[in-house]
Amino acid sequence: MDARVFVYVAHSAGTIDDTALELATAAQRLFPGSSPTAIVAGSGVDAVAREAARSFDEVWKLDTEALAYPNAELLRPLLVKLLTPGSMTLLPHNTFGLDLGPGLAVRLGATYVPDVVDADGLEGTTLKVVRQEFAGQVSAHVHCNVANGAVITIRPGAFPAAQSGSASGQVVDRSTDADGIAARRRFVELIEAETGDVDITREEVLVSVGRGIGDEENLALVEELSEAMGAAVCCSRPIIDAKWLENSRQVGTSGKTVKPKVYLALGISGSFQHLGGVKGNPFLLAVNKNPKAPIFQSADVGVVADLMDLLPVLTEKIRQGH
């Protein structure tokens, strides 16, 4: 494999994102033996670049005021200018990566390989990956011709994060290349998601409820159980879309990331978007009516049951135990 491999290092609040280390793993799985170059873009990112240098042999630093907020429209022409033709570029498949990636691939004349969840290796110029379709109901083996390079987005959580090494990579300052960049899309402001009355990101025991609860009224059963357990209630996206709970209770990639010790998933099917928000490897107990629900693949303990039957009994037993 001769092509150069680049990894985009996302960061926030001065630390590199989990996804950057996951991309490092993915780079090794996709292109074994490669030595990826990390790209750290932003404003005042010395520390981040140094941190990245512990995991990557080479780090390109793009440090300029204009990139204070990672605007894909600004970054894309810059990367087109910097990246070696025919190189392999790895991005996280999140709302930043899918903002940047497709256009970048077109601009580089590279093949776009989106949302990779697993790697089957590289044969000549054919990159073999695994993707998911139909909301994760089926997987697909996908072969990509990467002769002219590729832009690859990696699903967050699909690859384990590489151990943050202690190697000291070289930080190369490419900031001058960013001089005079401009875009027809300008970042204005960030409207933070509300925190709400309960900060689920700080709770150790969470009772999480999904579409399987059926009716808004049934939430009362969940709340009673949660109260008996001394836990907090959170939920998956359909509950938010139905406006049954406030946004601040949503766990998932489009909601909060939680790190509880115990996670009781009630009527949650277990999409990756939801489980992407559950970190810290909690004890996961799932209750679902559908024995085929994907959640049972991720759970430690599963129960196939009707919530309406189980919850009142469970709540009562917990109350009695006190």
With respect to another protein, which residue has the nearer C-beta, 83 or 113?
113
Strand partners, 220: none
Residues in Cβ contact with 134 at an 8 Å cutoff, skipping those fewer than 6 apart? none
Three-class HEC string of 60-88: EEEECHHHCCCCHHHHHHHHHHHCCCCCE
User: Which one-letter amino acid corresponds to residue 211?
Assistant: R
With respect to another protein, which residue has the nearer C-beta, 136 or 165?
136
- Residue 148 tokens read as 């002219």
What b-and-e string marks burial along 292-319, b requiring 16 or more CB atoms within 10 Å of the CB?
Answer: ebbbbebbeebeeeebeebbeebbeeee
Q: How far is the CB of 137 from another protein (least distance, A)?
A: 4
Q: How far apart are CA 21 and CA 55, in angstroms?
A: 8
Residues in Cβ contact with 260 at an 8 Å cutoff, skipping those fewer than 6 apart? 203, 204, 205, 206, 278, 280, 282
Q: Pick the closest to residue 3 from 83, 86, 81 (CA basis).
A: 86
Q: Pick the closest to residue 65 from 186, 172, 179 (CA basis).
A: 179
With respect to another protein, which residue has the nearer C-beta, 7 or 104?
104
Q: How far apart are CA 118 and CA 26, in angstroms?
A: 8
With respect to another protein, which residue has the nearer C-beta, 2 or 134?
134
CA angle 150, 145, 72 (to 5 degrees): 20
With respect to another protein, which residue has the nearer C-beta, 47 or 283?
283
With respect to another protein, which residue has the nearer C-beta, 90 or 146?
146
Q: What is the DSSP string of 94-144?
A: STTHHHHHHHHHHHHTPEEEEEE-EEEEEETTEEEEEEEETTTTEEEEEEE
With respect to another protein, which residue has the nearer C-beta, 29 or 112?
112
With respect to another protein, which residue has the nearer C-beta, 59 or 231?
231
Pairing outcome for strands 126-133 and 138-145: antiparallel
Q: How far is the CB of 276 from another protein (least distance, A)?
A: 9
